[in-house]
Amino acid sequence: MKKTLLAALLATTILTPANADEINAQSKIDAVTVFPQGAKITRIVKTQVTHGEHTLILDDLPGDVDPQSIRVSSVSNGTLEIRSIDSNHVYVTSDAQLAGQRKDIETNIETLQDEIAAFNQQIQTLNYQRKLIQDSAIRPITVSQNNTETQSSTPDLGSLFDLVAQRLQKLDEQSLELKIKIRKTSQQINDLNIKLHELAPKQHVKLNVAVDFATEQNTQAEFFVKYRIQNAGWQPFYDARLKIGKKSETPDLELIRKAQIVQHTSEYWENVALTLSTTRSTGATSAPELHPTEFTPPHVQPMYKTKRYSSNELRDELSSLQSEDAQGKIAESPEAVAEKEVAQAFTAGFQAAYKITGRYTVDNQGTAKKVKISAENLSASLSVHEAPALDLNAYLTANFTPTGSNPLLPGRVMLFRDNIYMGQGYVPLIASGEEHELGFGIDDQVKITRSEGKRKTGESGILTTEYVEENSWITKVKNLHDREMNIKIYDRMPFAVNENIEVSMMKNMTRPTHKEIDNKRGIYGWEYDLKSGEEKTIKFGYRITHPQS
């Protein structure tokens, strides 16, 4: 078995050897490698070839394929040499199969239009009859007796008017019935026109590929056609299932990696082998080049002074300002430019590939196909986090360290605690061996209360007067679990950037175990391991002083 691979740039016209035999073959999508943006398609063509030169014609590739990405390789029982690969776009109109349907619809529309014309003619006839009756009713009515005309009596006129009214009512009913028929028939014509528009000839683009090759003997050959296509991608997401267990059991975290695949291409992926790659082939391939940057001190606005302008000076000044504004001489400050540059952030890519077990079908209508990548059981350490200044609930948190060679990619996490859905979270890019924590909702087995302690505002000092403000709180936390729990309480104290303002911790307060958590000024933490039923009291307060204004 010998495998030959040729990667060639593609031409825009098909050039084939003069004596080459053409082989028209249908290809089938066998495998798809999906990237975060885009996908690589692998089609297979199997054919029996004879000794000599041949041209394999593939006319079933979609038109949105990147022609320069096409690569063809082959496997055969003998020697097979691929010499060139040519491609060109062909505009195809799908008309022949739908022509009969369109003809039938057009015939039905003509028939219905003739019916409407007949209905309108009947309505005109009824209107003419109505006019004759109305004209007859308003003329003086006389009756001839012995060659003498006498006017009809009142009873005779009453009977005549009743007869006219009955006849007009019948004409109105017939006219209304015909109008209803016209409305329904018009609706049928409208529906048929919509269907006819849907069946109108549509022109789409296909890509024809010609592969010139030669073989020295008759053989069974298998060709692999690979190309890239856009409008497809995948995103990772996870299921995190925390099992706390009994007191004697170690908490367990099952982390299930999944992927959501969506494609809007012109191809239908049916029963294909899927591979998910983290390669971002549509992004930058090298680091950006830095250019020298000149520092310009911030412009200091001068103090405004009153100045008298003559008419000529005022005109010149306004002209100068308009010229500077038009030429864009008023540039942004370095701080504003820097803020725009950091407005977007891109995750540095770790490249990995996940081959999904089995075969799958992914339609091209945007339906999300969800597949499982892997699952791993990790040991988790539990802790309870509390921020009583904002929320009096305690939140259960699990710390874990991913194992394996591949990192966790950024994505949403479905959180389950003892098989109960707790909500959604998010994980950033986490390398293997890097510790991370996930919150699993409110923990009712930890009770927390917060009450206001000493509060004071006023002035102090004899020679110089200072404004003083003191605030303090008392927080109590109790572990109601049947096991020892790690408890972390967070609180905050304001900080001042003015050197005349002093903020300090009050005396006789509980000393925090952590300061400036995550490099955040004024954020303090108290961490304790509380046994079952144990309670801890935390006193926290601060004092603010500054000169009296």
pLDDT (tens digit per residue) in 164-213: 778 888 888 888 999 999 999 999 999 998 888 887 766 677 888 899 99
Domain membership of residue 186 (yes or no) is yes
Note whether 63 and 209 are same-domain residues.
yes
pLDDT of 363 strictly over 80: yes
| Angle between the N-to-C axes of helices 154-198 and 96-138, in degrees from 0 to 180, rounded to the nearest 10 | 170
Give the residue, 109 or 8, on which the prediction is more confident.
Answer: 109
pLDDT for the residue 16: 40
Domain membership of residue 466 (yes or no) is yes
Note whether 71 and 11 are same-domain residues.
yes
Tokens at 10, concatenated = 């593609």
DSSP character string of 180-221: HHHHHHHHHHHHHHHHHHHTS--EEEEEEEEEEEEESS-EEE
Note whether 71 and 209 are same-domain residues.
yes
Its pTM stands at 0.63
Note whether 100 and 83 are same-domain residues.
no
Domain membership of residue 51 (yes or no) is yes
pLDDT for the residue 339: 33
Q: Is 482 exposed, middle or buried (0-12, 13-18, 19+ CB in 10 A)?
A: exposed
Query: In the chain, how many domains are there?
Result: 4
Domain membership of residue 279 (yes or no) is no
CB 179 within 8 A of CB 14: no
**Widest Cα–Cα separation across the chain:** 140
Domain membership of residue 301 (yes or no) is no
Domain membership of residue 287 (yes or no) is no
Note whether 167 and 220 are same-domain residues.
no
pLDDT for the residue 245: 82
pLDDT for the residue 168: 82
Residue range 333-339: mean pLDDT, rounded: 34
Span of 25-39, 52-66, 272-286 with lowest mean pLDDT: 272-286
pLDDT for the residue 328: 42
Cα Rg, the chain, nearest whole Å: 43
pLDDT per position as a tens digit, 273-332: 999 988 877 666 787 888 888 777 765 444 444 455 555 554 555 455 455 444 443 333
Domain membership of residue 366 (yes or no) is yes
Note whether 221 and 75 are same-domain residues.
yes
DSSP 67: G
Report how far residue 60's alpha carbon sits from residue 119's, in angstroms, rounded to the nearest whole number.
Answer: 51
Note whether 353 and 399 are same-domain residues.
yes
Confidence bin at 406 (pLDDT 50/70/90): confident
Note whether 412 and 518 are same-domain residues.
no
Domain membership of residue 479 (yes or no) is yes
CB 492 within 8 A of CB 545: no
Note whether 359 and 471 are same-domain residues.
no
Domain span at 165:
96-139+160-198
pLDDT for the residue 447: 95
DSSP 418: T
Q: What are phi and psi of 267, to 5 degrees?
A: -115, 150
Note whether 117 and 106 are same-domain residues.
yes
9-13, 96-100, 154-158, 437-441: range with highest mean pLDDT: 437-441
Note whether 193 and 89 are same-domain residues.
no
Buried b (16+ CB within 10 A) or exposed e, 508-543: eebebeeeeeeeeeebbbbeeebeeeeeeebebbbb
CB 365 within 8 A of CB 356: no
Note whether 245 and 371 are same-domain residues.
yes
Confidence bin at 155 (pLDDT 50/70/90): low
**Of residues 252, 206, 210, the one with CA closest to residue 92:** 206
